[in-house]
Amino acid sequence: MKSKAPAWLLLVTNLPGHNPTLRMRIWRALKAAGAGPLRDGAYLLPNGERARQVLEDQGAEIKAAGGLVQILSFDAESAAQNAEFIKLFDRTEEYAEAIERLASLRQELAKDAEPEARQQLAAIAREVAAIAARDFFPGESRQQMQEALADAEVGLNARFAPDEPHAAQRKIRARERKDYRGRTWATRERLWIDRVASAWLIRRFIDPKAKFTWLKHVKDCPKRAVGFDFDGAEFTHVGSKVTFEVLVSSFHLEQDPGLIRLGALVHHLDVGGIPIAEAPGFATIMAGARSLQPDDDALLRAMTPVLDSLYASYAAVQSRG
């Protein structure tokens, strides 16, 4: 029977001579990784492959400069000592500071144009993602931060992408792609995340010759058009799924891992949920494209290579795994 790995890794170092540049570089790298300082020259991390790699990389640099390094794995001697170690990784104060900055930023966001507002929110999201990456023992403070970010995103969407559909409570019905070839598809104008991704999905995987109509008022949807992403449309939010995810399920595309990961990205940006690392960057690109393109046809053309690239990246990661 394989024994359980020790809970902790400890890097013990003795840096050579007076080398402030090396000392600062090592300190910054360990801080970015989330290492907890026990004392000068002793840094603690929860045991894991990533943590060991970080410590080994820094140890190799110290050794190359003539310093001494030991990496030790061990368990705490008692529950009390283990609790003391865990306290070294408490990120509550960092999340609280980020929430305060977000609260101040939200006052500014109400006055900014969309690209600037999205960029500023993306910057806070990147900062929070960096905190979360070194938050080895997440608790209520991380949940509060994620909820605050989601609320800010909802606020931006309400301002720049109003009239989002309400989720229908019905079963998602299976459809055949052959019945949806060469059709006209209709959705609300001024495309945002779910609509642009759904239009990309339709043209790439469902109806390659699809034509699109962008509606100023959904009541003007042509009778023979296939509506999507608005209340009463043939394809729209159902239960917890956004329109992109509903289309994936409706047309038997769930076995495509690239589309599933892209769906998670769209879901997060449209209605919140599990954070996706690249989501703020994608939203910033989308906001910039909306400000540059003269109409929704041009916007879809501009965003198509972005979505193609994201899909290819997601599919490649899955194939390597």
How would you label 104-138 residue by residue, b for 16+ Cβ within 10 Å and e otherwise?
ebbeebeebebbbbbbbbbebbeebbebbebbeee
CB 167 within 8 A of CB 240: yes
Reported confidence tier of residue 1, pLDDT bands at 50, 70, 90: very low
In the chain, DSSP assigns E strands to 8-14, 36-39, 42-46, 68-74, 184-188, 211-215, 226-227
Judge residue 186's burial from the number of C-beta atoms within 10 Å of its C-beta, 0-12 exposed, 13-18 middle, 19 or more buried.
Answer: buried
Mean pLDDT, the chain, as a whole number?
90
**Which tens digit of pLDDT belongs to each residue from 75-86?**
999 999 999 999
The answer to whether the Cα torsion of 130, 134, 135, 141 is positive or negative is negative
Cβ-based neighbour number of residue 301 at 10 Å: 12
Which residue ranges make up each domain of the chain?
8-87, 92-160, 177-320
CB 35 within 8 A of CB 44: yes
Q: Both tokens of residue 48? A: 């894991």
CA distance 59 to 51: 12
What CATH number belongs to 8-87? 3.30.70.930
**Which tens digit of pLDDT belongs to each residue from 4-44?**
778 999 999 988 777 888 889 999 999 999 999 998 899 99
**Which tens digit of pLDDT belongs to each residue from 47-63?**
999 999 999 999 999 99
Contacts (Cβ under 8 Å, ≥6 apart) of 247: 198, 201, 202, 206, 228, 235, 253
Reported confidence tier of residue 271, pLDDT bands at 50, 70, 90: confident
Q: Residue 165 pLDDT more than 70? A: yes
Overall pTM > 0.85: no
Contacts (Cβ under 8 Å, ≥6 apart) of 242: 194, 263, 266, 267, 270, 271
How large is the average pLDDT for residues 112-126?
A: 84
Q: Both tokens of residue 68? A: 């001494």
How large is the average pLDDT for residues 193-209?
A: 97
CA distance 272 to 275: 8
CA distance 68 to 144: 42
CB 188 within 8 A of CB 229: yes
Cα 163 versus chain centre, distance: 24
Q: Residue 188 pLDDT more than 70? A: yes
Q: Both tokens of residue 87? A: 């306290």
Q: Residue 2 pLDDT more than 70? A: no
Q: Among residues of the chain, what percentage have pLDDT more than 90? A: 67
CA distance 274 to 268: 6
